[in-house]
Amino acid sequence: MIVFWFLLIALVVVVAGVTLAVVGGGEQAVLPEAEREVVADALPETRPVTRADIDALRLPVGARGYRMAEVDDVLSRLGAELAERDARIAGLEAALAGAQATAVGGPDLFKRDRAEGDEGERR
């Protein structure tokens, strides 16, 4: 019988404690408002995104969270594709610069060779 009264008193104390916690202790909130978590290192807006930007990016975890392994896989793939794109762009820019240098030097060389050929015919 003593156990019954002990459990009953414990139950009343627990219910009263939970009720006070839910209702609150006056004007003060029991729990402070949770601050929204924002992206710690946002992607740059003034320049193109690079592989280093993707590697440094950390996404916030919400109440339900996210599957970190899947997000990490997507970010890794995105970073690899950006690195591949940047390498291709650099290669194309180098090829274009080489073609432009040849085009600039080419007509001058052609004119010089032709002028030397005309002089040789005159002699």
Task: Encode pLDDT of 47-83 as tens digits.
Answer: 887 888 888 877 777 667 777 777 788 788 888 888 8
Q: Tell me the percentage of the chain whose pLDDT exceeds 70.
A: 66
pTM of model > 0.85: no
Residue with the bigger pLDDT between 94 and 105: it is 94
Residues 6+ apart with CB under 8 A from 56: 41
DSSP-assigned letter for residue 27: T
Q: Does the pLDDT of residue 33 top 70, yes or no?
A: no
Query: If you count them, how many residues does the chain have?
Result: 123
**How many of the other CB atoms lie within 10 Å of CB of 28?**
7
